[in-house]
Amino acid sequence: MLTYIARRLLWGIVVLILVSLIVFFTIRLLPGDPLLIYLADSDNLRSMSQEQLDGLRAQYGLDKPILLQYVSWIADILQGDLGRSIHYNENVATLMLERLPITLHLGLISMAISLPLGVIAGLIAALRRGSWIDNIVVVAAYIGTAVPVFLFGYILILIFGLKLEWLPIAGYTSPLDDFWLSTKKLIMPVFCMSLPGIAGMARQMRSSVLEVASQDFVRTAWSKGLTEKVVVFRHMLKNSLIPIVTIMGMSIGAIFGGSVLIENVFAIPGMGRLLVNSLFGQDYVMIQASTLITACIIVLSNLLVDISYGWFDPRIRYE
Amino acid sequence: MPEAAVTNGESSQAPYQRNEWELFCRVFFQKKIAVLALFIICLTFIVAIFAPWIAPYDPNAQDLSNSMQPPSRQHLLGTDRLGMDTFSRIVWGSRTALIVGFSTTLISAFIGTVLGLLAGYFGGIINTVIMRFMDALMGFPMIVLALLLAGVLGPGMQNIIIALTVASVPGYVRIMCSMTLSVKENDYILAQRSIGSSSARTLFLHILPNAVQPMIVMITSGLGGVILGESGLSFLGVGITPPDIAWGSMVADGFKYLKTNPILSLAPGLAILLIVLSFNILGDSLRDALDPKLRGVL
């Protein structure tokens, strides 16, 4: 197990380095002077004298070879210095520490809702295959994976925000400030964010239960005359939950991906909105930092999933 | 089922092939939902191809004297703030969705197939380099990676296709690589190599044909995902730019009038849902009908 963890960690670090290279060099693809990364305004750039430009270039280290620039960027990040945002005129690390908890608040609640709901729906659908409840779950899961989250958000806003006026349609309040208002504001975004999760989870669970149900040990359990409760909970459930671990790992990525759209629909100041706003503000330092941090969180959580997989299923350790 | 398994090899004879096709059709067409999905996709194609004849108005023609009209006989789905006909815009938007969807999916499936074959067949350092790089790309949520690229390249259809292609390649590489690895272990590949076949011959004649079926399934479902991704980028305003029309930006534009005229947002949104849903259902039905193990089971 220890060698397995060590090997996984090693590959995790390699992937993290690749992630940072992708982010760094994508930003360098930017057409025009690389000084744009720090200035965000090409008109300003054009009006500067050659000496001013050279001075700025030296200040940001852009006169050094590109690999050296990369190394010093990484060195800064490892010391917690993510640079300074032009658009927000604030330290990037400080900004992100404000925004990240909001996205995690929204995302973790959605995960906590979609996991049990998806598993239960998938399990019931598989156990009652062909029944009306199975049909409903299958159709709902199809729609849940195909509906654009922003459309779903707008429909919720239209019904519960604008027509019925039950819920506020935008914004975020910390639960520490006003728990009730915070919950009210989060209901629709959480619903939006958990919908694809529930649908994906239910589909995966349904097919994995169906697969487990056709295996020999389940047939043996039935033929021993065990009750449905015992067969399902003692024999089938644990085995059909293994693929769900993978889906759980993927849903960390789904949180950050979903937050980009959902936070823009409901005007929630989290990581996703930060990324989109910095794109429009041409704030490349911010874009660089927020994509890097997002990818790092996802790679690290996938690493945890991989390691826990090795724990659940010892065969995987010796691939 | 035993007959179906035989045809998976390269020595399929004519009568078997006909059975295979018949079996496929029987499983596929007995599912009404699959037929419906196929019908919607064909219909969207027709609408996209014949958009200039189907759309009653120029989709970008503004008519301020007729703005914010409710649905009527003149304007089937009403008009927006600038008096542009919603129905015509949805008709033209189908072109954008299909063009972006198909170019992205086909290009990324091609790149993914090549890289996956290389990684799976040659193994070793080639595999490590390609697969770790794909792991790194998969570390980004699709929309975040696409946003990053679109943000740097700028909006516009071509750049959106590039951005979405980079974001969808890793999935194809993974499936192709594991496919190649599993086929490579078969005895007939060993036999092929022992009689001195070249790598290229083995790859193209023996490994690639095995991958065609899973690829078709993945491309079909991938189309839904890409169209959803494009709609997200357009919704955020970093996607398609005028005069091209994107359903995603139509939904976003309608937000201000959600209470008074919800159809502005809902109609294009439902168009996205319908086409994505159809591709997903078609993909699943193809998988069930093509895979001998799943025939009749689901």
Domain final residue pick, A78, A104, A124: A78
Size of interface A-B (CB pairs under 8 A): 132
What does chain A come to in residues?
A: 319
> Which H helix or E strand runs over A191?
helix A179-213
d(CA A16, CA B136) in angstroms, rounded, equals 7
Residue B18 lies in a domain: no
Task: For residues A254 and A147, state if they share a domain.
Answer: yes
Quickly state the pLDDT bin for B18 (edges 50, 70, 90).
low
Residue B29 lies in a domain: no
Largest CA distance in chain B: 78
- Confidence at residue A190, expressed as pLDDT on a 0 to 100 scale: 93
Task: For residues A43 and A152, state if they share a domain.
Answer: no
Nearest CA in chain B to A274: B144
A216: left (phi over 0), alpha (psi -120 to 50) or beta: alpha
* Spatial CB neighbours of B117, under 8 Å, sequence gap ≥ 6: B176, B177, B180, B203, B207, B208
Q: What is the tens place of the pLDDT at every residue in B201-251? A: 777 777 788 778 888 888 998 999 999 999 999 999 888 888 888 999 999
Task: For residues A51 and A148, state if they share a domain.
Answer: no
Residue A287 lies in a domain: no
Residue B57 lies in a domain: no
What does chain B come to in residues?
A: 298
In this complex, the residue of B148, B272, B298 whose CB is nearest that of residue A26 is B148
Task: For residues A21 and A114, state if they share a domain.
Answer: no
Domain final residue pick, A246, A262, A280: A280
* A295·B153 Cβ contact <8 A: no
Q: What is the tens place of the pLDDT at every residue in B124-178? A: 899 889 998 998 898 888 889 998 888 888 888 999 999 999 999 999 998 888 8
Number of domains within chain A:
2
ipTM for the predicted complex comes to 0.86
Distance separating the N- and C-terminal Cα atoms of chain A: 12
* A154·B269 Cβ contact <8 A: yes
Task: For residues A61 and A135, state if they share a domain.
Answer: no
Domain containing B113 equals 62-68+75-295
CATH number reported for the structural domain that contains residue B192 in this entry? 1.10.3720.10
d(CA B164, CA A71) in angstroms, rounded, equals 29
Task: For residues A74 and A106, state if they share a domain.
Answer: no
As given in the structure block, the two tokens for residue B91 are 């008709």
Closest C-alpha to B111, from B219, B210, B228, B232: B219
Backbone angles phi, psi at B33, to 5 degrees: -65, -35
Task: For residues A32 and A138, state if they share a domain.
Answer: no
Q: How close B136 gets to chain A, by Cα (Å)?
A: 5
* B141·A253 Cβ contact <8 A: yes
Q: What is the tens place of the pLDDT at every residue in A111-125? A: 999 999 999 999 889
- Confidence at residue B6, expressed as pLDDT on a 0 to 100 scale: 42
* B140·A157 Cβ contact <8 A: no
Using alpha carbons only, how large is chain A's radius of gyration in Å?
24
In this complex, the residue of A21, A22, A150 whose CB is nearest that of residue B235 is A150
* Spatial CB neighbours of A58, under 8 Å, sequence gap ≥ 6: none
d(CA B177, CA B173) in angstroms, rounded, equals 6
Residue B21 lies in a domain: no
In this complex, the residue of B136, B265, B270 whose CB is nearest that of residue A15 is B136
Which contacts qualify for A77-80: CB closer than 8 Å, 24 or more apart? A77/A20, A77/A289, A77/A292
d(CA A106, CA A251) in angstroms, rounded, equals 13
* B273·A275 Cβ contact <8 A: no
| Per-block mean pLDDT, blocks of 10 residues, chain A (319 long) | 84 89 84 68 68 74 78 85 78 88 91 91 87 89 92 91 83 82 88 90 88 80 79 78 78 86 91 88 84 88 81 66
- Confidence at residue B4, expressed as pLDDT on a 0 to 100 scale: 43
Residue B121 lies in a domain: yes
B269-B272-B276 Cα angle (round to 5):
145
Which 3 state secondary structure label does DSSP give B58? coil
More confident position, B66 or B18: B66
Q: How close A279 gets to chain B, by Cα (Å)?
A: 6
Q: Which stretch of A67-71, A196-200, B5-9, B291-295 has the lowest confidence by average pLDDT?
A: B5-9
Residue A52 lies in a domain: yes
CB of B242 closer than 8 Å to CB of B60: yes
- Confidence at residue A316, expressed as pLDDT on a 0 to 100 scale: 65
Residue B19 lies in a domain: no
Residue B8 lies in a domain: no
Residue A6 lies in a domain: no
CB of B173 closer than 8 Å to CB of B259: no
Question: A14, A18, A212, A300: best mutation site toward chain B, by most B Cβ within 10 Å?
Answer: A18
Domain containing A274 equals 93-280
In this complex, the residue of B145, B231, B277 whose CB is nearest that of residue A142 is B277
Task: For residues A148 and A274, state if they share a domain.
Answer: yes
Question: B32, B134, B148: best mutation site toward chain A, by most A Cβ within 10 Å?
Answer: B148
Residue B172 lies in a domain: yes
CB of B176 closer than 8 Å to CB of B118: no
d(CA B292, CA B221) in angstroms, rounded, equals 19
CA A275 to chain centre: 13
* Number of Cα atoms under 13 Å in the Cβ half of residue B252: 19
* Spatial CB neighbours of B265, under 8 Å, sequence gap ≥ 6: A151, A154, B250, B251, B252, B253, B254, B255, B257, B258
> Which H helix or E strand runs over B48?
helix B32-49
Residue A293 lies in a domain: no
- Confidence at residue B172, expressed as pLDDT on a 0 to 100 scale: 92
d(CA B197, CA B293) in angstroms, rounded, equals 31
Nearest CA in chain A to B257: A158
The DSSP code for B70 is: P
CB of B224 closer than 8 Å to CB of B279: yes
Q: Tell me the one-letter amino acid at A48.
A: M
Residue A300 lies in a domain: no
A254-A259-A264 Cα angle (round to 5):
150
CATH number reported for the structural domain that contains residue A258 in this entry? 1.10.3720.10
Task: For residues A45 and A101, state if they share a domain.
Answer: no
DSSP structure string for A231-247:
IIIIIIHHHHTHHHHHH
Number of domains within chain B:
1
Residue A138 lies in a domain: yes
Task: For residues A211 and A135, state if they share a domain.
Answer: yes
